[in-house]
Amino acid sequence: MGISVSNISKSYKDLKALQNISFEVKPNELFGLIGPDGAGKTTLFRILTTLLIANEGEATVAGLDVLKDFKEIRKYVGYMPGRFSLYQDLTVEENLNFFATIFGTSIEENYELIKDIYVQIEPFKDRRAGKLSGGMKQKLALSCALIHKPKVLFLDEPTTGVDPVSRKEFWEMLKRLQQKGITILVSTPYMDEAALCDRIALIQDGEILQIDTPENIVKQYPKTIYDVSANNMYQLINSLKAYQHKHSVYPFGEFVHYTDTRSDFNPKELKTYLEAQNLSNISIERTQATIEDSFMELAK
Amino acid sequence: MNNTNVIQAEGLTKMFGDFTAVNAITFEVKKGEIFGFLGANGAGKTTAIKMLIGISNPTSGQAHVAGFDVSTQAEDIKKNIGYMSQKFALYDDLTVKENITFFGGIYGLTKIKIKEKTKELIEDLGLEEVANQLVGSLPLGWKQKISFSVALLHEPKIVFLDEPTGGVDPITRRQFWEMIYRASHQGTTIFVTTHYMDEAEYCDRVSIMVNGKIEALDTPKELKKQFQVDSMNDVFLKLARG
């Protein structure tokens, strides 16, 4: 009851939104599609939820073909689009009732599945959806996407614009849904969320850069990364970029992530160079690669 | 960074009826500092910023921004600040050059100055090839960089950035932070609001608002030490979840 995507391409006029995309999501997997805005994530979601037809390639969802079986698929998938798409003028409860009725079920029948999520917004069940906060809208949208007990759940950037507390709660909810046997495909531009998925595909400009578990992707990073810091960030970046042996120089919060072209790199040498550039309080320490480092190395 | 305060707020408070949205916040931001202003949805950030940029009057307390009083000199403040957000950036139906001319005009720059700034900006960002193309046809990362440069057109003392790099690819994102570091190095104060704690990691100092009050204010390094965690995300969760 997973997802299978094989050689899918989609263009809008001259723009190649998806280029020959293939991957498999195993039954009951929590699979992340990680990439920036414009990578093609939403196009892929729309193809898999039968709302858009690909130019080339094939895909199945829960064993059903997205073209031939489009009507059937819609019974088995839940879709939470990136843009809030519920009825703003209906109340929380009316929205949920509406979606339950459309799918020929009732809130009571499937309450068990949404209970965890819905109890948090139930106190506001008479409030119009348009008047909810971002975090509450997200919970209502998820409840509506789940009310017909889908086998496969599609979540397009569910955490965009949501604060860290609501984000954390949201990912905890996803884990619980997974435990109930639902297959989940979730997209996000936020690389730190990648670690919360079983497997991920890194996607940019309509192409998949790599597919693996987050741990393996980070493990395969080819270089040793150093956290470099000094008294002046702007001058530090410029100096590192001008260093003849640099492989990559990327600001990373309070540090700069530096990699060297040489295999016998000696940090002391770099320190001497930076001191000669009038930098002080220099610190150079080995650090672990993150998904973002891997993404940048692959996209280079 | 030097010791001139570009923002100075003392007991800044805003009430809506019985509800205290911003509860006596006191803080200062220095010239050239990259300052992160964080808080959960509904913590009072937006209300606080509205007071700082002179579009909402404080109920009590006071604040000076770029040397002007927010209550009595709001118009002067507006001339001395820049603003950039994901939601509103540039006009898609205007070309790069037209956007620069438009915003230059809005900020009251002379025609000669606009011409000079246009040339400078286009050269700086390497946009010669696309200067006459509609902004809507450009990749998001480019738009973000242009819109940051446009926010700096009138050489403001402070730029307010709202989730400046959300959704942008990681490489462009770094280029964007490098632009921010450069502006800061040249003395422009950068005031960042964001929900993304990895953006907070780039700031010199960070404040976190909870229920209308500033509950933490320090460098990311010190805050992580203080809360004994590895990331700003965990600092935030500890504070906001209590």
Answer whether A232 sits within 8 Å of B167, measured CB to CB.
Answer: no
**Band of residue B87 on the pLDDT scale cut at 50, 70, 90:** low
Residues B96-155: tens digit of each pLDDT? 999 999 999 999 999 999 999 999 999 988 899 999 999 998 888 888 889 999 999 999
Residue B120: inside a domain, yes or no?
no
> Best interface-test mutation with A: which of B174, B206, B210 has the largest number of A CBs within 10 A?
B174
> Best interface-test mutation with A: which of B188, B195, B233, B241 has the largest number of A CBs within 10 A?
B195
Residue where the block lists tokens 């000076």:
B64
Residues 6+ apart with CB under 8 A from A207: A19, A20, A21
Residue B105: inside a domain, yes or no?
no
Residue B223: inside a domain, yes or no?
yes
Which residues make beta-bridge pairs with B27? B9
Is residue B54 pLDDT above 80, yes or no? yes
pTM of the model: 0.89
Is residue A293 pLDDT above 70, yes or no? yes
Average pLDDT over residues A241-258: 96
Residue B211: inside a domain, yes or no?
yes
Which pair of tokens denotes residue B212? 């209308």
Answer whether A163 sits within 8 Å of B220, measured CB to CB.
Answer: no
Nearest chain A residue to B179 by CA distance is A234
Residues A87-100: tens digit of each pLDDT? 999 999 999 999 99
Is residue B2 pLDDT above 60, yes or no? no
Q: What is the pLDDT of residue B88?
A: 64
DSSP run (H or E) holding B199: helix B197-200
A35 CB neighbours in chain B (<8 A) are 169
Q: What is the pLDDT of residue A288?
A: 95
Listed by start position, the domains of chain A span: 3-218, 222-299
Is residue A46 pLDDT above 60, yes or no? yes
Rounded to the nearest 5 degrees, what angle is found at the Cα of A188, between the Cα atoms of A187 and A191?
130
Rounded to the nearest 5 degrees, what angle is found at the Cα of B30, between the Cα atoms of B29 and B36?
45
Residue B182: inside a domain, yes or no?
yes
A168 CB neighbours in chain B (<8 A) are 237
Q: How many domains is chain B partitioned into structurally?
A: 1
**Band of residue A178 on the pLDDT scale cut at 50, 70, 90:** very high
Quote the CA–CA distance of B39 and B44 in Å, as a whole number: 8
Residues 6+ apart with CB under 8 A from B73: B54
Among A124-128, A259-263, A264-268, B139-143, which is the least confidently predicted range? Answer: B139-143
φ, ψ of residue B183 in degrees (nearest 5): -60, -40
Distance (Å) from the C-alpha of residue A166 to the closest C-alpha of chain B?
9
**Band of residue A39 on the pLDDT scale cut at 50, 70, 90:** very high
Interface of A with B (CB under 8 A): 35-39, 133-135, 160-168, 189-192, 204, 232-235, 237, 250-254, 292, 295-296, 299-300
> Best interface-test mutation with A: which of B37, B92, B178, B231 has the largest number of A CBs within 10 A?
B178
Residues B56-78: tens digit of each pLDDT? 999 999 999 999 999 999 999 99
Among A134-138, B60-64, B174-178, B181-185, which is the least confidently predicted range? Answer: A134-138
Average pLDDT over residues A292-297: 95
CA distances from A91 to A84, A94, A96, A151 (A): 14, 5, 9, 27
Indicate if A222-299 has the same CATH topology as A3-218: no
Of A163, A253, A296, the CB nearest to B41: A163
Residues 6+ apart with CB under 8 A from B233: A164, A192, B197, B198
Residues B151-172: tens digit of each pLDDT? 999 999 999 998 888 778 899 8
Residue B214: inside a domain, yes or no?
yes
Mode of pairing for the β-strands spanning A152-156 and A77-80: parallel
Residues A155-173: tens digit of each pLDDT? 999 988 788 888 888 999 9
Distance (Å) from the C-alpha of residue B158 to the closest C-alpha of chain A?
18
Q: What is the pLDDT of residue A166?
A: 85
Residue B124: inside a domain, yes or no?
no
> Best interface-test mutation with A: which of B38, B196, B230, B231 has the largest number of A CBs within 10 A?
B196
Q: What is the ipTM of this complex?
A: 0.87
Top-level CATH class of A222-299? alpha beta
Of B182, B221, B237, the CB nearest to A234: B182
Among A205-214, B1-10, B181-190, which is the least confidently predicted range? Answer: B1-10
Residue B133: inside a domain, yes or no?
no
A163 CB neighbours in chain B (<8 A) are 39-41, 195, 240
Answer whether B167 sits within 8 Å of A37, measured CB to CB.
Answer: yes
φ, ψ of residue B6 in degrees (nearest 5): -95, -30
**Band of residue A19 on the pLDDT scale cut at 50, 70, 90:** very high
Q: What is the pLDDT of residue B242?
A: 60
Average pLDDT over residues A43-58: 97
**CATH code reported for the domain at A3-218:** 3.40.50.300
**Band of residue A14 on the pLDDT scale cut at 50, 70, 90:** confident
pLDDT > 90: percent of chain A? 88
Is residue A185 pLDDT above 60, yes or no? yes
What's the first-to-final CA gap in chain B, in angstroms?
A: 34
Q: Which among B8, B28, B11 has a CA at the least distance from the CA of B20?
A: B11
Domain containing residue B199: CATH number: 3.40.50.300
B181 CB neighbours in chain A (<8 A) are 233-234, 237, 251
A250 CB neighbours in chain B (<8 A) are 170-171, 174
Is residue A152 pLDDT above 80, yes or no? yes
pLDDT > 90: percent of chain B? 78
pLDDT mean across residues, chain A: 95
Of B42, B170, B219, the CB nearest to A133: B42
**Band of residue B41 on the pLDDT scale cut at 50, 70, 90:** confident
Answer whether A192 sits within 8 Å of B41, measured CB to CB.
Answer: no
A-B contacts at Cβ under 8 angstroms: 92
- Residue B38: domain span: 5-87+155-241
Which residues make beta-bridge pairs with A79? A154
